[in-house]
Amino acid sequence: MSVIVAQPLTREAFAPFGDVIETEGADHFLINNGHCQRFHALATTQALGPEAQIIINIFRAKAYAFPLKLPLVERHPFGSQAFIPLSQDPFLVVVAHDEGGRPGLPHAFLTRPGQGVNYPANLWHGVLTPIAGPQDFVVVDRTGQGNNLEEFHFPTPYEVRLP
C-alpha cells in the first residue's frame, strides 16, 4: 500500500487543483457604511450543461479514522464544488490530476481552521473528510441534467496519514 502524508493547505500548493477559500491574504474592502468587510471573489463557480444552476447545500459529515484508507476518488464533469466549513475544525482534502481519464497520484492537504476549498469541474478529489468529529459544511454545487458524478476505485487503496 502506498502512503501519502498530508501537507498544510496553502494557496500556492493547492493552486494546480483549485481555490483555497480563506480570508487571510484575500482582497477585501469595506461595505455597509464601513461596518462590514467584504472578502471578494474567493473562488469561481462553474455550472456546465443543460439546465445547469448553482445551488447551495449544507453537508453534515462524520469523522474518519486515521490512518485513512483511500479506496476511491470522484469528480464532477459539469460543475465545480466548494466546501466551506461551518466550524473552525480542520479537515482533510485529497485531490489528483487527471491522467488519460484516470486519477494520477493523489495529493493530500490538511486545512487550517476556517479554510475551505473549491474544486473546478472534472478534478478528481476525495470525499468530504472531517477529522475531529462530525462537521457541517456549506457546499456550493451544480444541479441540472446529466450525470455529474464519476467515481474511480483504486486497485489498491492508498493510506493517508496526518503530519
- How distant is the alpha carbon of residue 1 from its chain centre? 24
pLDDT at 1 over 90: no
Q: What is the pLDDT of residues 14-38, one digit of tens each?
A: 999 999 999 999 999 999 999 999 9
Section 35-58 average pLDDT: 95
What structural domains and CATH numbers belong to the chain? 3-161 (2.60.120.480)
pTM over 0.85: yes
Res 57: pLDDT: 97
Res 84: pLDDT: 98
Cross-strand pairs, 32 = none
Q: What is the pLDDT of residues 77-114, one digit of tens each?
A: 999 999 999 999 999 999 999 999 999 999 999 999 99
